[in-house]
Amino acid sequence: MDYNEHDVEELLKENERELLRLAGAAGDLRQITGTGESRSGLAKAVVDADGRLQSMVLAPRVLRLDVTTLAEEVVEAVRKAQEDQDRQARELLAVPDSQLVGLEEIQRQFEEFHQAFRTETGDRNERIRRLGDRDPYDD
């Protein structure tokens, strides 16, 4: 990867802008709750910003269900609430699904950039050192 000083400067400016935007959104993220309902409507769930269950409402008709079906209703409602919370968070951060990248991938890209930057900086420093070691009268 070839990076010049302008590329590094632009990358740093872009990262700073993005960090400021994300810092502004951090408070809003903590306020997001997700809601979900099972397909039959017998179970309704609300999750907090971390996806943890905050409340569950069961319709009286659940008393007619067997335990397995009731569990499926609850799980479906919670899962939909978590998906709703996740969707809202992505919308707030303006991160399209196609650009979601795992933490490991981000770290790998950063390490790659960092290594390329260190190599290029080292090469430049070595050239500068050699130029400093040269006797100007040798030319």
Is 20 within a domain? no
For residue 132, the model assigns a pLDDT of: 72
For residue 75, the model assigns a pLDDT of: 96
CA gap 94, 104 in Å, rounded = 21
Gyration radius from the chain CA atoms: 27
* Residue in 95, 77, 81, 94 with CA at minimum distance from that of residue 39: 77
Is 114 within a domain? yes
Do strands 53-58 and 34-37 pair parallel, antiparallel, or not at all (unpaired)? unpaired
For residue 131, the model assigns a pLDDT of: 76
For residue 52, the model assigns a pLDDT of: 92
Note whether 120 and 113 are within 8 A (CB): no
Q: Are residues 87 and 50 in the same domain?
A: yes
Structural domain boundaries enclosing 105: 101-139
* Reported pTM: 0.56
pLDDT means per 10 residues in the chain (139 residues)? 67 74 72 94 94 95 95 96 90 64 63 74 78 67
For residue 91, the model assigns a pLDDT of: 84
Q: Are residues 62 and 94 in the same domain?
A: yes
For residue 41, the model assigns a pLDDT of: 96
For residue 40, the model assigns a pLDDT of: 95
Q: Are residues 89 and 77 in the same domain?
A: yes
- Please give the structure tokens belonging to residue 117: 């930057």
